[in-house]
Amino acid sequence: MISKPSRYNHLEPYEAFSLRALWHVLSYRRATIAWITLAMFATTFTVCLVRSPQYAAESNLETNPENASAVDLSTGTADAESEYAVTLATQANVLASDTLALQVIQQLNLEQVEKQRSHLFFSKRADDDSLPLEQSPVRRTRMLKRFHKNLSIHVLGGIRILQVRCLDRDPALSAMIVNTLVNDYLEQYFQTRYTATHQASEWLSRQLAELKNDVEVSQQRLVDYQRQAGILGESETHNVVTAKLEELNKQLSGAEANRIVKQAVWQLAKTGDPELISSIAGSSFIQGVSAGGNAAQPGLLPALRAQEAQLKADIAQTAARLGPAFPKLQHVMHGARIGERCNVGDHAFVESGAVLGDNVTVKNGVSIWDGVTAEDNVFIGPNVVFTNDRNPRANVKKAREQFLRTKICEGASLGANVTVLCGITMGRYSFAGAGAVLTKDVPDYAVVVGNPVRQVGYMCECGERMRPDLTCPCGLKFAKENGQVVCVPF
């Protein structure tokens, strides 16, 4: 058998994968490589010619906080910003809703536009095309999917602007879609506000009519009573009783005016501006309205400033003792005992009689009542619920000695939303999973979950689950003695 000579026979074995061999292979296949490169270039060029360009149309909607007033006496700036962020997200979801999308599709007849562009994606079933778009689930879903694919709604952070953006091969159609969507959104928004205002107006009108009817009935009863009692006077409308009623009405009007002015002063005083309070106290109008009452004391403002300085000094002294990471001091009642290096989150409450050891972590939204004791290195997750009375009644007041005691031993951890019934003890370094309901004592190192809790294993002091042989990846070993898990010393 005669074999075809190879052009690589002259190469040495160790030269089979050298650069020289690679150059010979490329030279031998240069025609194939050239054709492949030419084909790729031609395909790319054809795609660029055939594919239509996409045009983007944008519209920016600037939103303002609702119910804003010229005089803002609120101090919750962070809460207001958080609520307004939720409002922006809600408005963005409304802009991206299927209701507005379907309305724009019907107004601009986008289904016919898509049919003219491509007949491959639309079915020819007569039973489907004969129905309106809102009654045809298949066509409606297809159009909404294409509409949302080319539409994007973005909330521009920090500047309170909603950006509406639409992509389409037709620039005029893209602009029409954005403008129509924004106009429909504004119309729906104003219609909603108008409906709410109209309903409130109707309710107020009904209340006013009822009050007017009650006044007429009361007046008629008064006239009947005057006739029965034989009250004399110049006329039915001018007698001794009516004169007294007129005098009382004047006094009532003065009292109402005084109340309104004092309420306005109280609202302005909530700002906490001492200079504003001082100017209000010295105002001739306020003194005139408040004539006959207690006069404003000239030394009130210096006394208030002295109290403020004393309170600031107390806060600084308490913060120096408890550390800079300690939360708002007003959440801890007098009589509660808190150890060193504790971390208590916001919206937490520690009642008088509660005890926290050293290095205890209390997350947000936790209320620790009288009778609850948390030893050193205890972790209490967010929204954990403690109790101290198994059968509470609002009309039955119990003494402090009647509350059941709850003890969380050293190193124990309670996950988020755990509920702890009073009168139980949670063992050392035990662990309660999120949402568990503790109705009985928990052994040392035990892991419990569920409602009511059930034990599912053991956990080491380092936070890792123990193996079935009571060993931990960290190297610690444990054993059971008298039904309790204890750490075995090295």
Condensed to tens digits (0 to 9), the pLDDT of residues 14-66 reads 445 578 878 887 888 888 888 888 889 888 877 776 666 777 888 888 776 65
Residue 81 inside a domain? The answer is yes
Residue 219 inside a domain? The answer is no
CA distance linking residue 376 with residue 381, whole number of Å: 15
CA distance linking residue 202 with residue 74, whole number of Å: 30
277 in Cβ contact with 301 (< 8 Å)? yes
Do residues 60 and 42 both lie within one domain? no
Of 68-77, 307-316, 454-463, give the range with the top mean pLDDT.
454-463
What is the torsional sign of CA 336, 341, 342, 347? positive
Residue 39 inside a domain? The answer is yes
Do residues 170 and 190 both lie within one domain? yes
Q: Which domain holds residue 462?
A: 327-390+402-488
356 in Cβ contact with 337 (< 8 Å)? yes
DSSP-derived 3-state class of residue 276: helix
CA distance linking residue 11 with residue 20, whole number of Å: 9
Do residues 276 and 352 both lie within one domain? no
Do residues 484 and 337 both lie within one domain? yes
Do residues 243 and 374 both lie within one domain? no
More confident residue, 46 or 339: 339
484 in Cβ contact with 443 (< 8 Å)? yes
Residue 126 has what pLDDT? 40
What is the torsional sign of CA 471, 475, 481, 486? negative
Give the burial class of 84: count Cβ atoms within 10 A of its Cβ; 0-12 exposed, 13-18 middle, 19 or more buried.
middle
390 in Cβ contact with 423 (< 8 Å)? yes
Do residues 108 and 158 both lie within one domain? yes
CA distance linking residue 396 with residue 398, whole number of Å: 6
Q: Which of 198, 215, 243 finishes a domain?
A: 198
CA distance linking residue 383 with residue 436, whole number of Å: 12
Question: Residue 351: which of 364, 332, 365, 366 has the closest Cα?
Answer: 332
CA distance linking residue 352 with residue 332, whole number of Å: 8
Residue 411 inside a domain? The answer is yes
Residue 179 inside a domain? The answer is yes
CA distance linking residue 442 with residue 427, whole number of Å: 6
CA distance linking residue 107 with residue 179, whole number of Å: 12
Do residues 346 and 249 both lie within one domain? no
Do residues 40 and 59 both lie within one domain? no
Question: Is the bond leading into 298 cis (omega within 30 degrees of zero)?
Answer: no
Report helix, strand and coil shares of the chain as percent, to nearest 5. 45, 15, 35
DSSP-derived 3-state class of residue 186: helix
Confidence of residue 305 (pLDDT cuts 50, 70, 90): confident
Residue 484 has what pLDDT? 86
pLDDT tens digits, 308-336: 888 888 777 777 776 655 655 447 888 88
CA distance linking residue 426 with residue 403, whole number of Å: 18
Query: Does the pLDDT of residue 385 top 80, yes or no?
Result: yes
Do residues 27 and 60 both lie within one domain? no
Do residues 87 and 27 both lie within one domain? no
DSSP-derived 3-state class of residue 94: helix
Quote the distance between the C-alpha of residue 58 and its chain's center: 29
Query: Which CATH number does the domain housing residue 467 bear?
Result: 2.160.10.10
- The identity of residue 309, as a single letter, is A
pLDDT tens digits, 147-194: 888 888 888 766 778 888 888 878 888 888 888 888 888 888 888 888
Residue 296 has what pLDDT? 46
Total domain count, the chain:
4
- The identity of residue 233, as a single letter, is G
Residue 459 has what pLDDT? 92
Structure tokens at 271: 């700002």
Residue 57 has what pLDDT? 83
Do residues 237 and 374 both lie within one domain? no
Residue 483 falls in which region: left (phi positive, over 0), alpha (psi -120 to 50) or beta:
left
- The identity of residue 86, as a single letter, is V
CA distance linking residue 201 with residue 212, whole number of Å: 16
Residue 317 inside a domain? The answer is no
CA distance linking residue 23 with residue 11, whole number of Å: 13
Confidence of residue 479 (pLDDT cuts 50, 70, 90): confident
Residue 412 inside a domain? The answer is yes
pLDDT tens digits, 52-69: 677 788 888 877 665 444
Question: Residue 432: which of 424, 445, 293, 423 has the closest Cα?
Answer: 445
Residue 240 inside a domain? The answer is yes
Quote the distance between the C-alpha of residue 364 and its chain's center: 14
Question: Residue 120 carries which DSSP code?
Answer: S
Give the E-state strand segments of 210-252 in sequence order.
Answer: 233-235, 238-239
Do residues 370 and 433 both lie within one domain? yes
Residue reference for tokens 């109340």: 259
pLDDT tens digits, 110-139: 877 777 766 544 444 444 566 777 777 888
Mean pLDDT, rounded, for 292-317: 69
